[in-house]
Amino acid sequence: MMLSDEHFAELAEAKRLLENPGLAVKITNFVGKPIEKGFELLPDNWGQRIGVATKDALMLAMKGALLTMDSRSSESHPRWHKVAAALSGAAGGALGLPGLIAELLVSTTIMCRSIADIARANGESLDEVSTRLACIEVFALGGTSRLDDAAEIGYFAVRSSLARAVSEAAEYLASQTLAEESAPALVRLIALIASRFQIQVSEKAAAQLVPIIGAAGGAVVNLLFIDHFQDMSRGHFTVRRLERHYGTEEVRRAYERI
């Protein structure tokens, strides 16, 4: 079944959001300062530290945000989540690198609630395992990045790379609870998503370390950070909504034609 003109237009907007220039470009354009200077200030062991922190943040967000959301509401409230993220970023920016690690746990949970909010507004049931995993998937959809050397980084390429891990995690969660966070299926999925999410986290951290950015800049950077992933969410859950109506293959073919 071919997409209607209205739905094709919605899919085109979703693709515009999903195949965007990336977080670093948005930060540079808005703040007016290249974030390369910030990368020079990151410590040598930053990659290892942020790898652990992003995994912890994603697991906390999955358990702390998704399990406490009301699945019945049909409206999203992105502005409230942006305000909360900006306040969190201001605190992190004021405290320097140690504050950025601690603030990551808070901002990731806020973003996860916002992502779930947008999913719910697109007809997703937060009681379903597939929806919870789709919310976590959004953190892997960072757009193109200066740090991403993958050969394929398009939306469907990322989803395909996660498909097996998502399927295994879904099978596990169908009979278990998120309390068993050490389960191999969940650990593998979180690790795969964290490997891509930490690229965006590193760009955010570098921007907040640029001299003269400080607390106010931290708030702005976090605002751009959550806005970026809200865009990813809108695109992702528009595609999923259309897939439920037309089927995955038809939507993918239409997406590739745009």
pLDDT 10s digits, 22-44: 787 877 777 666 777 777 777 78
Dig out the tokens for 67 from the structure: 């399990």
pLDDT at 150: 46
- Of the chain, the percentage scoring pLDDT greater than 70 comes to 74
pLDDT, residue 151, reads 41
pLDDT at 99: 67
Contact 226, 114 (CB under 8 A): yes
Q: Which helix (H) or strand (E) holds 192?
A: helix 184-209
Residues 6+ apart with CB under 8 A from 251: 3, 11, 239, 242, 243
> Per-residue pLDDT for 196 more than 50?
yes
Q: What is the pLDDT of residue 245?
A: 95
Confidence check: pLDDT of 180 > 80: no
What is the overall mean pLDDT for the chain? 79
The H helix count followed by the E strand count for the chain is 10, 0
Summarised one tens digit per residue, pLDDT across range 111-167 is: 888 898 899 999 998 888 899 899 999 999 975 555 554 444 689 999 999 999 999
| φ/ψ (deg, to 5) at 173 | -70, -20
Can you give the pLDDT at residue 178?
A: 53
Per-residue burial over 175-190, b = 16 or more CB atoms within 10 Å of its CB, e = otherwise: eeebeeeebebbeebb
List Cβ neighbours of 201 (8 Å cut-off, separation of 6 or more): 50, 53, 54, 104
Quick count: other Cβ atoms within 10 Å of Cβ 79? 9
Count CB neighbours of 47 within 10 A. 11
- pTM given for the model: 0.83
Q: Judge whether 202 and 97 are in contact, CB under 8 Å.
A: no
**pLDDT value for 95:** 55
Query: From residue 254, how far is each of 14, 110, 119, 142 by CA, in Å?
Result: 12, 33, 22, 22
In eight-state DSSP terms, residue 43 is -
Of 44-58, 90-104, 214-228, least confident by mean pLDDT is: 90-104
Q: What gap in Å lies between CA 10 and CA 235, rounded to an integer?
A: 9
CA distance 176 to 187: 14
CA separation for the pair 64, 61 (Å, rounded): 5
Confidence tier at 86 by pLDDT (50, 70, 90) = low
Q: What is the pLDDT of residue 251?
A: 97
